[in-house]
């Protein structure tokens, strides 16, 4: 009986242990399955290497990251998957960590995808020690940070561009003030000479170079800020031909122009649109290293409602720019307007992105079509002017250089050279002129003029006064003093939003620096009539 009881107890104990063992095996199986699911569903590549860096385990994620199946990687080292210089550096780092029994903490390394692409991984891992306390192996993860590194690179480039842009904007502003003094004095000198004077033609040619100079500063401004367009009626055909011929001067590419005889005027920012066609012309020139033709066609078109994406219903000028160059691969065509994207070895990849931005801000549209070996065609739609004046009916500014009635003017500008040249321009035309170096003094002088019954007819105000009150702030106080005050905003920052929306800020007109005598008188004439 005692034997039977002992046997029963031992049998029960054995059954209990067997049950516990089965339960432990089941728990181990579940744990293994959970680990397998976690490993295989992880967005990171999980691995194990021995102390020499040879892979002993690789999760399936390696195929998504580097294109290799796990069995192709097991038995290799991480250094086998890297460019030679990178492999040498990372191998030395790994050897040092093994010797110190230290973990791998977020080490960035460049790997080569099976298809040859470079993939940036971030590697982290911990050492597994043997009984003697030496490194037996490492277990860790690799995370694909290629996109993050590209994004960081773009952000760094953007920050650098912003810094350069701020500098470019300041240079352009100062340069415009210098040009104001230069071309203003040329304009005054030319006015004092008869047309048959020997020096008249030389001064006229010098004055004509103002367009090229202002084109340069407008490019700097667009690069610096990409501001809102300051629109005016422009003969698009003349502008495109002038810009294209200028950029193709000395090139073996021949421009061919065709435009409708009744081509409408376009309502655009002249400087910004010059940059659009400058970039397109330069692109075409680079696409035809052996020469060829650049066909530019301009025509009027009415866009019905909801016909073209991104365009409102209305009148537009359609411009087609077609080259006979190398063309663009179809796989790249939908990315050509992306910032920093370029298929060329030179350039920043900003040219077409800038073109797209400018056209878009004008309420227009641009698209591209291309075929390798046959060339590329850009099609642009730019808004037509509501006035629909034709180029031949637009009176040249030089012919409107006189104003019937004299007026009393106040000129506010922090630059002495600008105050002096504008004063001489206006006095030469019969105006009475007083000046102020900043907005605070201009406000005081305007108030005093009202108090003594000799109000200023027009105030010409500089927009930006470093360390002082500029035109944007001063006009508010002047309008509080005199709601009927007439002011013209003037600035070397031609793309400032105030210049684009001057009427909303209380101004009656704009004069973007640099301007000639005839341009200033034209604006004054319009403001005095209001």
- The pLDDT of residue 266 is 92
CB 290 within 8 A of CB 250: no
Residues of the chain with pLDDT under 50: 345-349, 390-402
In whole angstroms, give the CA distance from residue 44 to residue 142: 6
- The pLDDT of residue 251 is 87
- The pLDDT of residue 392 is 43
Q: Where are the beta strands (DSSP E) in 269-407?
A: 292-303, 314-323, 365-371, 375-383
In whole angstroms, give the CA distance from residue 7 to residue 20: 20
Long-range contacts of 425-430 (CB under 8 A, 24+ apart): 425/184, 425/187, 425/188, 425/517, 425/520, 426/520, 428/188, 428/191, 428/192, 428/517, 429/401, 429/402, 429/403, 429/517, 429/521, 430/403, 430/406
In whole angstroms, give the CA distance from residue 436 to residue 434: 7
In whole angstroms, give the CA distance from residue 354 to residue 272: 9
> Which of 429, 422, 442, 402 lies closest to 490, judged by CA?
422
For residue 115, CA distances in Å to 85, 150, 313 come to: 19, 19, 48
- The pLDDT of residue 353 is 76
- The pLDDT of residue 399 is 38
In whole angstroms, give the CA distance from residue 384 to residue 329: 33
Residue 391 Ramachandran class (φ > 0 left, ψ -120 to 50 alpha, else beta): alpha
CB 271 within 8 A of CB 222: yes
pTM beyond 0.75: the answer is: no
In whole angstroms, give the CA distance from residue 297 to residue 318: 8
pLDDT digits (tens, 9 = 90+) for 176-220: 778 888 888 888 888 788 888 888 888 888 877 776 676 666 666
Neighbouring residues of 365: CB distance < 8 A, sequence distance ≥ 6: 308, 309, 310, 311, 359, 380, 381
Instruction: List the end-to-end C-alpha distance of the chain, in Å, as a whole number.
Output: 127
- The pLDDT of residue 403 is 54
In whole angstroms, give the CA distance from residue 158 to residue 162: 6
Neighbouring residues of 337: CB distance < 8 A, sequence distance ≥ 6: 352, 353, 355, 356, 366, 368
In whole angstroms, give the CA distance from residue 516 to residue 530: 22
- The pLDDT of residue 458 is 94
Helix (H, G, I), strand (E, B) or coil at 111: strand
- The pLDDT of residue 219 is 60
In whole angstroms, give the CA distance from residue 370 to residue 378: 9
- The pLDDT of residue 28 is 62
- Buried b / exposed e over 369-390, threshold 16 CB at 10 Å, is ebeeeebbbbebbbbbbeeeee
Pure H helices in 79-209:
84-100, 146-191, 200-208
Angle between helices 200-208 and 146-191 (to 10 degrees): 160
In whole angstroms, give the CA distance from residue 454 to residue 456: 7
For residue 458, the cross-strand partners are 409
In whole angstroms, give the CA distance from residue 291 to residue 17: 90
Tell me how long the chain is.
530
pLDDT digits (tens, 9 = 90+) for 405-451: 578 999 999 888 889 989 988 888 889 999 999 999 999 999 999 99
- The pLDDT of residue 507 is 92
């Amino acid at each position: 009986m005692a034997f039977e009881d002992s046997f029963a107890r031992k049998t029960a104990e054995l059954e209990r242990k067997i049950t516990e063992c089965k339960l432990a095996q089941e728990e181990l199986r579940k744990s293994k399955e959970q680990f397998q699911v976690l490993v295989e569903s992880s967005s990171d590549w999980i691995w194990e290497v021995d102390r020499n860096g040879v892979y002993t385990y690789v999760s399936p994620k390696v195929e998504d990251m580097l294109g290799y199946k796990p069995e192709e990687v097991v038995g290799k080292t991480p250094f086998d998957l890297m460019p030679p210089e990178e492999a040498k550096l990372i191998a030395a780092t790994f050897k040092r960590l093994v010797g110190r029994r230290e973990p791998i903490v977020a080490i960035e390394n460049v790997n080569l995808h099976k298809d040859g692409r470079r993939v940036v991984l971030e590697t982290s891992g911990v050492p597994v020690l043997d009984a003697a306390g030496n490194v037996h192996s490492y277990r860790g993860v690799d995370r694909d940070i290629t996109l993050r590194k590209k994004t960081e690179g773009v952000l760094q480039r953007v920050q650098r561009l912003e810094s350069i842009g701020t500098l470019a904007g300041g240079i352009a502003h100062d340069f415009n003030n210098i040009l104001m003094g230069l071309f203003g004095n040329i304009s005054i000198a030319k006015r004092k000479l008869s047309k048959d004077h020997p020096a008249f033609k030389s001064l006229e040619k010098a004055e004509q170079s103002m367009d090229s100079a202002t084109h340069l500063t407008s490019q700097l401004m667009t690069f610096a800020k990409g501001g809102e367009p300051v629109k005016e009626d422009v003969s698009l055909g003349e502008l495109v031909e002038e810009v294209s011929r200028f950029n193709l001067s000395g090139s073996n590419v021949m421009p061919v122009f065709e435009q409708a005889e009744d081509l409408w005027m376009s309502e655009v920012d002249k400087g910004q649109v010059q940059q659009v066609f400058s970039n397109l012309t330069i692109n075409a020139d680079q696409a035809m290293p052996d020469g060829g033709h650049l066909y530019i066609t301009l025509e009027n078109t009415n866009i019905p409602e909801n016909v073209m994406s991104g365009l409102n219903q209305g009148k537009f000028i359609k411009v087609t720019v077609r080259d006979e160059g190398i063309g663009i691969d179809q796989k790249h065509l939908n990315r050509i307007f992306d910032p920093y994207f370029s298929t060329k070895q030179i350039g920043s990849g900003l040219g077409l992105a800038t073109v797209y931005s400018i056209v878009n801000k004008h309420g227009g549209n641009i698209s591209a079509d291309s075929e390798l070996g046959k060339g590329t065609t850009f099609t642009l739609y730019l808004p037509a002017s509501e006035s629909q004046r034709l180029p031949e009916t637009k009176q040249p500014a030089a012919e409107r250089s006189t104003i019937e009635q004299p007026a009393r003017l106040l000129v506010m500008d922090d630059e002495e050279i600008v105050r002096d040249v504008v004063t001489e321009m206006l006095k030469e035309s019969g105006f009475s002129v007083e000046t102020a170096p900043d907005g605070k003094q201009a406000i005081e002088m305007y108030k005093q003029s009202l108090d003594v019954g000799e109000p200023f007819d027009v105030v010409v105000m500089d927009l930006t006064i470093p360390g002082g009150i500029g035109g944007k702030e001063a006009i508010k106080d002047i309008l509080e003093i005199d709601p009927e005050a007439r002011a013209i905003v003037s600035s070397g920052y031609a793309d400032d939003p105030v210049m684009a929306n001057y009427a909303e800020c209380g101004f009656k007109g704009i004069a973007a620096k640099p301007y000639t005598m005839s341009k200033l008188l034209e604006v004054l004439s319009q403001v005095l009539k209001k």
